[in-house]
């Protein structure tokens, strides 16, 4: 539908274009986005283009100002009026700073908002509320090597020691190549924050001063590809010509950054990508972009941009000897959905992503005729001193998801709990315990 002017009037500096269309400002950009380079380099602009197309705008294109890692996405109304959306991608922390000083309407972040940022922005409303904190995609931090490096897998303990500069040669890891050369994102980067949280800080380590730092994901990846002694960490779409290795965490199996393992957040270095918009925001474009990002069209753009969408699919799981017998049986007869329900920290309540996923799972179940005894929920938990307690808690988590599905007309086949078996992360840190507290959905 083309954008047609049905009525034009001045309202708080915005021109209303039509009853269905978003208003266009008289002056300046319609929306200002700041934050993550991981999001802002391609995914954010692609989602903006999708929204502009949905709004019926014409001649949609990107303009690059003189400042690096900044873009303007521009469209025109049928009457020739320009609509401009600005995207500045200098790192996740810059997005929250921009919200605070009112130089952005929406923050893009490749990590969860920190407590200190939440406190600093409390005047804008609760940025942890479901409306404010929007998970738009799932990403995996890939550990990349030069393609000629024969190493196939590492664990997170080894990663911490490598990037802290304690492991200095490839020979110490059973590989070859001499001295290890470290490549890392810059301090403003959500990618760096995520790596620091998941790998370094958890083991009381800091990044070696010898690491070469990059603001650009693409440049970092290409540098590792060109260096036979190089190792780096990068967002999933930026592996490019480098080689990704399998990663294990604690007692978990070593996992490659595959889409299915990242979608369920089982892969040890998986992470969520966020939009944060102030609950009291008066900019209708911010809410519209967040809503569009959650839509099937938006999630299709997520996938084509190289990230992992939240679109629910069924996948077959091959049984293996490391699985408990009951889980092996399940994998022989049913398929697992590409979503895990997880819980707010220190709570039995579903977290914000899980609330979004409920609607997606319900839609899948109903579209595929699975409402009558075709769904099994499987709960897992973190390690407890009493295995019976771990088993009970894992089943109670599954029951919490069951209640939500039953409210919407789903008759369950079975609810099971496997306690602390099959961990996907180490139980020695809060982040790992939270990841292990999960509920899988299986369909027959």
The reply to whether 74 and 122 lie within a common domain is yes
In a domain, 1, yes or no: no
The reply to whether 330 and 420 lie within a common domain is yes
- Measured over the CA atoms of residue 308, residue 311, residue 316 and residue 319, the dihedral's sign is positive
pLDDT in tens, 38-91: 899 999 999 999 999 999 999 999 999 889 899 999 999 999 999 999 999 999
Mean pLDDT over residues 284-309, rounded? 95
In a domain, 346, yes or no: yes
Q: Where is mean pLDDT largest: 3-17, 190-204, 299-313?
A: 299-313
List the CATH number of the domain containing 57.
3.40.190.10
In a domain, 270, yes or no: no
The reply to whether 327 and 438 lie within a common domain is yes
* Closest by CA position to 235, among listed 277, 291, 184: 184
- Which of 142-146, 189-193, 253-257, 381-385 has the lowest average pLDDT? 381-385
The reply to whether 143 and 128 lie within a common domain is no
End-to-end CA distance of the chain: give it in Å, rounded.
Answer: 41
The pTM score is 0.81
In a domain, 234, yes or no: yes
In a domain, 2, yes or no: no
pLDDT of residue 297: 97
> Please, what is the average pLDDT of the chain?
91
Count of positions (residues) in the chain: 444
pLDDT in tens, 242-255: 999 999 998 888 99
Instruction: Report residue 14's pLDDT band, with 50, 70 and 90 as the boundaries.
Output: very low
Euclidean distance between CA atoms 344 and 109, whole angstroms: 19
pLDDT of residue 10: 31
Tokens (6 digits) for 338: 């590409």
pLDDT of residue 17: 38
pLDDT at 360 over 90: yes
Instruction: Report residue 429's pLDDT band, with 50, 70 and 90 as the boundaries.
Output: low
In a domain, 285, yes or no: yes
Residue holding tokens 């911490």? 160
* Closest by CA position to 45, among listed 65, 29, 62, 23: 62
The reply to whether 428 and 330 lie within a common domain is yes
The reply to whether 247 and 325 lie within a common domain is no
The reply to whether 345 and 402 lie within a common domain is yes
- Which of 190-199, 289-298, 360-369 has the lowest average pLDDT? 190-199
Residues of the domain holding 391: 312-443
Distant-in-sequence, close-in-space partners of 80: CB < 8 Å, separation ≥ 6? none
The reply to whether 239 and 124 lie within a common domain is no
The reply to whether 317 and 434 lie within a common domain is yes
The reply to whether 79 and 122 lie within a common domain is yes
In a domain, 5, yes or no: no
The reply to whether 14 and 112 lie within a common domain is yes
pLDDT in tens, 175-186: 999 999 999 999
* Closest by CA position to 422, among listed 336, 357, 354: 336
List the CATH number of the domain containing 361.
3.30.1330.60
pLDDT of residue 13: 43
The reply to whether 157 and 237 lie within a common domain is yes
Tokens (6 digits) for 213: 């730092």
pLDDT of residue 324: 92
Q: What total number of domains does the chain contain?
A: 3
């Amino acid at each position: 539908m083309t954008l047609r002017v049905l009525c034009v009037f001045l309202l708080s500096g915005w021109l209303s274009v039509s009853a269905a269309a978003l208003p266009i400002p008289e002056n300046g950009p319609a929306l200002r986005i700041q934050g993550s380079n991981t999001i802002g380099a391609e995914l954010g602009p692609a989602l903006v283009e999708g929204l502009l197309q949905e709004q019926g705008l014409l001649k949609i294109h990107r303009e690059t100002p003189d400042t690096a890692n900044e873009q303007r996405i521009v469209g025109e109304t049928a009457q020739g009026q320009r609509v401009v959306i600005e995207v500045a991608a200098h790192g996740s922390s810059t997005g929250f700073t921009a919200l605070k000083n009112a130089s952005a309407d929406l923050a893009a972040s490749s990590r969860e908002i920190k407590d200190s940022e939440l406190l600093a922005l409390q005047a804008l409303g609760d940025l942890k509320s479901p409306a404010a904190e929007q998970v738009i995609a799932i990403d995996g931090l890939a550990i990349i090597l030069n393609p000629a490096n024969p190493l196939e897998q590492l664990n997170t303990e080894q990663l911490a020691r490598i990037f802290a500069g304690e492991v200095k040669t490839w020979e110490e890891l059973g590989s070859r190549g001499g001295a290890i050369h470290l490549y890392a994102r810059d301090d403003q980067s959500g990618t760096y924050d995520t790596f620091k949280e998941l790998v370094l800080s958890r083991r009381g380590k800091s990044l070696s001063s010898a690491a070469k730092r990059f603001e650009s994901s693409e440049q970092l990846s290409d540098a590792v590809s060109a260096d036979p002694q190089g190792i780096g960490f990068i967002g999933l779409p930026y592996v490019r010509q480098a080689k990704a290795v399998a990663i294990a965490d604690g007692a978990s199996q070593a996992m490659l950054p595959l889409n299915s393992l990242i979608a369920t957040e089982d892969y040890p270095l998986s992470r969520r990508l966020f939009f944060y918009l102030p609950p009291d925001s008066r900019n209708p474009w911010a809410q519209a972009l967040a809503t569009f990002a959650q839509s099937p069209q938006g999630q299709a753009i997520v996938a084509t941009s190289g990230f992992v969408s939240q679109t629910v699919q069924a996948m077959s799981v091959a049984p293996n000897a490391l699985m408990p017998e009951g889980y092996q049986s399940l994998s022989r007869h049913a398929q697992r959905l590409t979503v895990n329900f997880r819980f707010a920290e220190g709570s039995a309540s579903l977290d914000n992503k899980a609330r979004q996923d409920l609607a997606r799972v319900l839609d899948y179940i109903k579209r595929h005729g699975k409402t009558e005894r075709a769904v099994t929920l499987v709960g897992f938990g973190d390690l407890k001193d009493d295995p019976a307690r771990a088993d009970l808690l894992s089943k109670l988590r599954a029951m919490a998801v069951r209640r939500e599905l039953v409210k919407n007309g789903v008759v369950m086949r079975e609810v099971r709990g496997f306690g602390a078996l099959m961990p996907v992360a180490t139980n020695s840190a809060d982040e790992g315990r939270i990841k292990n507290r999960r509920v899988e959905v299986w369909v027959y």
